[in-house]
Amino acid sequence: MERPSESEESAYDEFVEQLIQQNRELLERQSASNTKPSEYPAVYIPDYTKDLKQIYDQLNRLSLTYKKENISALFEQMDKKIDAMPKVIPVRHHHHFDPKSKWILVAYFILVIAVSILTGTSIGFATEVYLLKKEITARQADTPTSHAVNVTAKTTPTKNVVKRKPRIHKTMLTGNRIAKPNL
């Protein structure tokens, strides 16, 4: 094992001296705080001796008027009543519909019918969309496309082969019928 150098030894000695000095200061502070009386705020505790004496006198009068036999008889009566109670209390549990619950049933069946109608229409729309997409892809596959495109020529959109009625814009304010373009 190597011996610490003089600088390390002097640093260690300084550190120990500082710890000793701090410990002395803490001990002085602690002894000074022990000699001082604690400074707590004054607490007002009211004097309840008169009230407690009245309660004590009333309890004494009460115990003198009721004899121990009477009190024990009261407890025995309570014990008899408790013993007479059944361990399991029977409870009637019936489910029935009264006139007040009739409207709840009506609302329930209306909701069930509404959900079934909405489910059926959504399935119908989904199948219709599927068939239309299938028809469109079949038509696109049937139409010939040329790979050479003339960039300078004006291209006009081709009209759909299926003839449809022109759609009328819903927000039209005047009496003129303006047809929306088919997209």
In tens, the pLDDT along 143-170 reads: 765 544 555 555 565 655 566 666 665 5
In a domain, 105, yes or no: yes
Q: Per the domain annotation, does 23 fall within a domain?
A: no
Residues 104, 81 within the same domain: no
User: Which range marks the domain in which residue 66 is found?
Assistant: 49-86
Q: Can you name the residues that pair with 167 across neighbouring β-strands?
A: 180
* Alpha-carbon gap, residue 121 to 125, rounded angstroms: 6
The answer for residues whose C-beta is within 8 angstroms of residue 172's C-beta and 6 or more apart is 178
As a whole number of angstroms, the distance between CA 160 and CA 168 comes to 18
User: Is there a domain that residue 168 lies in?
Assistant: no
Place of tokens 């139409």: 143
Distances (CA, A) of 36 to 25, 28, 41, 43: 17, 13, 15, 20
The predicted pLDDT at position 29 comes to 84
Q: Could you tell me if 105 and 137 lie in one domain?
A: yes
- Least Cα distance to 165 among 176, 180, 155 occurs for 180
Residue 32 lies in a domain: no
136 inside domain: yes
Question: Could you tell me which residues are beta bridge partners of residue 180?
Answer: 167
Report DSSP state, residue 182: P
**Using CA atoms, how far apart are residues 4 and 8, in angstroms rounded to an integer?**
6
Q: What is the pLDDT of residues 34-58, one digit of tens each?
A: 766 667 777 888 899 999 999 999 8
Residue 21, in any domain of the structure: no
104 & 137 share domain: yes
Domain count, the chain: 2
Task: Judge whether 57 lies within some domain.
Answer: yes
Give the model confidence (pLDDT) of 13-27 as tens digits.
888 899 999 999 988
Q: Residue 2 falls within a domain, yes or no?
A: no
